[in-house]
Amino acid sequence: MVTLDQLLDTQRLDRITAEARQIQFGRVLLTVLASIFYGIGWITARGFGVLWLALTWSAVAVKVGWQEGRRKSAPKRT
């Protein structure tokens, strides 16, 4: 069982306070902002990748369909 004295250990609290004071607000804010832009860029790149795949697949499907349609409907000469 943990006592209140152990939880309020001044050495531990002093160490936490010292480390918390080393954190720079501006740097944290810039890191959060950069990560937001990174995430937006990553999602956009993934979206365009999927869109590109869908467009190229559709174009090839049209091409193959066109070739199949021309081959079957061409009149045979005898």
Tokens read off for 57: 């697949």
Domains of the chain: total: 1
**Residue 37 to residue 43: CA distance in whole angstroms:** 10
Does the residue 78 lie in any domain?
Answer: no
Does the residue 45 lie in any domain?
Answer: yes
The whole-angstrom distance between residue 52's C-alpha and the CA centroid of its chain comes to 17
Higher-scoring residue by pLDDT: 22, 8: 22
CA dihedral 21, 25, 28, 29 (to 10 degrees): 170
Does the residue 15 lie in any domain?
Answer: yes
Does the residue 10 lie in any domain?
Answer: yes
Higher-scoring residue by pLDDT: 78, 12: 12
> Has residue 9 got a pLDDT over 80?
no
Domain residues for the domain of 45 are 4-73
Tokens read off for 46: 């993934």
Higher-scoring residue by pLDDT: 42, 6: 42
| pLDDT, tens digit, 9 for 90 and up, residues 16-72 | 889 999 999 999 999 999 999 999 999 999 999 999 999 999 999 999 999 999 887
Does the residue 34 lie in any domain?
Answer: yes
